[in-house]
Amino acid sequence: MKTYLANPSGYCQGVSRAIALALSFKKKYQDKPCYVLGALVHNETVTSELNKYGIISLTEKISNVDKIKKLPKGAAVIFTAHGHDKKLEELLKSKDMVYLDATCPIVELSASNIKKAIKDGRQVIYVGTPNHPETVAMLSIDKEVYLYQDLMDDMKSVIKDKTPFVSSQTTLSTYELEDIFKKIKEVIPGAIFQKEICQETKIRQAAVKKLPNDVDAVFVVGGKDSSNTKKLYELAKKHFSTLKIFYILNEHDIDPIKDKLKGCLKCAIISGASTPLTETMKIKVKLDEIW
């Protein structure tokens, strides 16, 4: 089967930076047990690789405060690339634990914009995936930051500000966000919008629409919890509504769906920003070898 590999592929700069920082941090504190408060980036392959270096990801569904309480004395702690509640840093300091902030610079910029709006006396409407670590981090900034989904039924009863600041998660669909901003504008005409979608996310979403029209199937490659990969998958399903669209993590996910590929002569592969290029290339090689 012929394969078309979308550009870009491999890590975005924020993911590359987070991984490099984590490895350097572990090397510096190699005598300490090292933990990430969650998944450093949302890709299971990356989490597994970090584990080989002694960097353990705490991904159980409990609060970060509870995770910290369970850590051994003298632990070295890494905050994920998605941002975090800054009060957690004080908690770690009180326990004499060293820590690394691996937050993506784009996420940090988004947080800075929200803090400025709060300082200017504005209420903030945040558009993000509920319970996603980036969303949780942004909502922790101030009590006047409100999640859009919580306001949908009666926005005006909560948002008294006539010019609220509207921000968004950096990995959302830029196309979906336009519709949400329009709905907010209808309720609060004076709202001030800041589309925080990172450039890498925009480029990959645009790449979906540039995939060849003569493909029979599209493979979207990424972690199951990766927001930007999920949005690529949703966009691919919408844009190529008559094609077979598959969401996979690695080449091992191909065998269970092989029967579904019968009759497919050409496919396209697009990957999320936290997907290792090595994994994407293994998938390409395996698909190239199919009939």
Place of tokens 């590929």: 261
Residue 143 has a CB neighbour count (10 Å cut-off) of 9
Strand partners, 134: none
Average of per-residue pLDDT across 168-191: 95
- Tens digits of residue pLDDT in 17-52: 999 999 999 999 999 999 999 999 999 999 999 999
Catalytic residue among 108, 134, 144, 178: 134
Rounded Cα distance between 34 and 22, Å, is 10
- Tens digits of residue pLDDT in 110-142: 999 999 999 999 999 999 999 999 999 999 999
What is the total residue count of the chain? 291
Question: Up-side HSE of residue 190: CA atoms within 13 Å toward CB?
Answer: 9
Q: Strand order in 76-79's β-sheet?
A: 55-57, 34-36, 76-79, 98-101
Q: Is the pLDDT of residue 291 over 80?
A: no
- Tens digits of residue pLDDT in 219-247: 999 999 999 999 999 999 999 999 999 99
Q: What is the pLDDT of residue 41?
A: 98
Rounded Cα distance between 30 and 98, Å, is 12
Task: Name residue 220's amino acid.
Answer: V
Residue 234 is among the residues annotated as catalytic for this protein? no
Rounded Cα distance between 176 and 195, Å, is 12
Asked if 123 and 143 touch (Cβ cutoff 8 Å), the reply is: no
Max distance between CA atoms of the chain, in angstroms, equals 63
Confidence of residue 70 (pLDDT cuts 50, 70, 90): very high
